[in-house]
Structure 1
Amino acid sequence: MFATRHTPLHALRWLGIGLLGGWLGSCAKPHNSPVIVVGNARFEFLTPALVRMEYSPSAGFVDAPTAVVQKRDWPAVRVEATEKDGWLTAASGVVTLRYRLGSGPFTAANLEVRWSDPAGAAHAWHPGDRDPLNLGGLTYSLDNVSEANLPAGQSDLASPVNDAIPGIDLKLPEAKPGLLSRSGYAFIDDSPTPVWSAEKAWIEPRPQPTGQDWYLFTYNRDYRKVLAEYAQLCGPIPMIPRWVLGPWITDFNFEYFPDSAESRRPDFQRYNQQYLEDEVSRLRQSQIPFDALILDFAWHNYGWEGGYDWSPLIPHSQELMDRLHGQGIKLSLNDHPGYINTEQSILSFDDSHAPEVLKVLGRPPPPSPKFDLDLSALWSFRTDHEAGGWKPIRVGPWQERGYGGYRGVGWYRASAQLPSKLPDALYLYLGEVAKT
């Protein structure tokens, strides 16, 4: 005979509740570290209010410093994190981060950071959010900034629009958001920044160029706090030399091309080393203070094409530098390694430093030309291409070639006899063509 023992119904209820609680507990996976890795995503709470968000397609995360971010060792931050219902939730006591597990790169649909300000008002950030209260960052350049290029209804020179580098009409990007915002947060995208190689003691491209490496500062309106955390993250910012705060003077803001017709003009050649030295003496004698002399294009050959050879306008460069330094004047030479955002050469191949620069860049030197034909003296000009009477014209602006009062479209033509056999690659070099 077997004795049968019946379990009371209320005990089964408690057993069911206990099993359910255990099952729910197994679904809520806890994390106790400030560094949380879930699949191809990694989150690091550097401070209770500063979080790093990193996504790598291969889960190959970056621990080395970058060209921007220096500090990697931070004091431990207490973080409570769980995985539940397909979401990671991580809270530091200041911010709460939520990420949908296994959902891939960060988007507004799968990532959110929330926090509250001292008054108790809730705030949230999602990838792609635009902050209308950001106080603005740095613009790429102040070239061609004018009232017409400012945003409608604004007078903020830090955010020009429709701005372009004069002469080549390349549109400049708008200024990016800065660290300070009345919204109480700042976002930094460090994804494209090169990493620092300790072995090479130099920067190198990231191993995962398609990854995401983001930082979010939350500080409400404690601006000192975000500046301090940024200085910790990116390293101390050295003080600039005292002379930088003094007056600067810029000169030689024109292009010099050796053996060009323009370079042989007397009014062009008067801008030379003697002119610079006379101007410095005149300013000093007039007790007009300045601490730095900035030389633009014409200190070197080839203008925008770039170069490191001194132009003939300054035949004794060391003598000029010694004289300026003897008077306590700093000399700065504007560097023009080539056009921005184009496929043109990094600098003129005619520059004596070109082979050295190309070697450093890992680029082969160009082949020597097998055929060269100068068209500069063969051009004719008309204001109406359908009419006859084409007149010879030297290379240069037509306003300086007898058509000073003409405003409109100008037509140029040239004809030349080519040899029967030509190289496989043939280039027609026109130089700069101004757009008016």
Structure 2
Amino acid sequence: MPYRLTVLGTGYLGATHAACMADLGFEVLGLDVDAAKIARLRAGDLPIYEPGLDELLKRNLEAGRLRFTTSYEEAAEFGDVHFICVGTPQKPGEYAADTSYLDAVVESLAPHLTRECLVVGKSTVPVGTAARLAEKLVRLAPAGEQVELAWNPEFLREGYAVRDTLHPDRIVIGVASEKAEKILREVYAPMLTAGVPLIVTDYPTAELVKTAANAFLATKISFINAMAEVCEAAHADVKQLSLALSYDERIGGKFLNPGLGFGGGCLPKDIRAFMARAGELGADQALSFLREVDAINMRRRARMVDLARELAGGSFHGCNVAVLGAAFKPNSDDIRDSPALDVAVNIRNQGGRVRVYDPVALDNARRAHPELEYGESAFDVARAAHVVLLLTEWQEFVELDPEELGRVVAERNMVDGRNALDAEAWRAAGWHYRALGRP
């Protein structure tokens, strides 16, 4: 008999994991303490934008393989394997991660665990968290040592989450017993049969895999953006530099795209939490370089504002500024730590009239930043603009016709924050084109 799965926390990670596991044929029960969110999910209404997930959710609800609840008692009775998928945000005023949501799940679930089961953490956590939660589970659960913990970090990319869940590039499990390993091998059998590599390790290594991966990715992005700073000083072209580096197989071209830098709900807070935890372990010097990675990333935003101000003639006062993009990346409505919105707010604070458009993130942006103005299309916000900024590289922005857009603006000034446009085509259409790290 196949295992019955619960997914505790139905945010971005949890909703995706629940729908995908149901699509693999498992009976899945999703749980959240947010009753309004659960009501939406039960109705097949996804609270987030993620390509392909909407169809997956509706298909599995209709098939009866996927249900949602707010009851921990129901979840404990239903599930054989419980996946914890709650967030670990940055603590206010600190670098450290806030693991209180994880503790709340364990403290709410454990008292109802009266039989043998496996609890699987998927959240990104400071190393050492799993061992602490494993002890808490055994202490609070009536079933005691029959309740085991495993750690199975997620590696989802927003915009590609369904593919990354169903066809991951690797599966990592941190386990304390062969039994836990056997259960997870059976749960992930479809992926393993398809040849997905499985790394079986201990708790701390599994925890470190995710934080190390994010730290390396952030470092690679900030490296090319540091080179963009040097290129600007040396009158070189960072796009050509990046292209030349990409042919070196030791380096590769992925995430070597110069631009406005990273944001979102993962990389910024995860590298800061990694530094904080390393400091607690007495290994803070090992990760001191991540402070500069973070600083380089934040400097890109300030430089973007500088470039826009230069094209505006030295001041934003009396200047209409069109911002293309609000989400932190394309194919997402996530505006957490969005570089685009950070730049937009800074320009407004310096006296500019800022109008923002994004294909899917407008509602979230309006709620977070009601002080900004918004439009219904790229052409809408660009009308009478003195400067246009491309800050999220949605395909519809990349494909804009520079001649058509030029007919609605007050002045043809474009700042390409993602190095996504064809510079020569825009210049040929009479635009003053500027981009980070390019002449």
**What band does the TM-score fall into relative to the shorter chain?**
under 0.3
TM-score, length basis structure 2? 0.26
Higher relative contact order (CA 8 A, sep 6+): 2
TM-score, length basis structure 1? 0.27
Return the index of the structure with the highest Cα Rg.
Answer: 1
